[in-house]
Amino acid sequence: MAYYEESALKITEKAYERRNKKMRKENPGMAKRKTSGTHPDRIKFACRFGAQNHPMKDKKGEPTPYAMALKKWGFSSAQAAKNFCKKHKKKK
């Protein structure tokens, strides 16, 4: 079964928020949104998700959970996340 087939769980934006509300409550560090600026957590997210190659829309034209996660973190596409990562990732 492919990752984003019709039988996969359909997550709407409202359901996404509801599902994560409890998690943010139990983990206070997550409650603080780090979805803008150059916070290290946002840079890490951009590097992880920018490197992935998942579809942005499912067969019905709805955004996939991958696309919704990128949007929540302030990125319009995987390429935007990849570019942000390249620009802000600290060199070791």
Integer Cα distance of 23 and 3 in angstroms: 23
How crowded is residue 62: how many other Cβ atoms within 10 Å of its Cβ? 13
**Residue-level pLDDT, tens digit, the chain, 92 residues:** 444 444 445 667 777 777 777 777 787 766 566 778 888 889 999 999 999 989 999 999 999 999 999 998 999 999 999 999 999 988 76
- CA 6 – CA 27 distance, rounded (Å): 32
pTM score > 0.85 for this model? Answer: no
Strands (DSSP E) contained in the chain are none
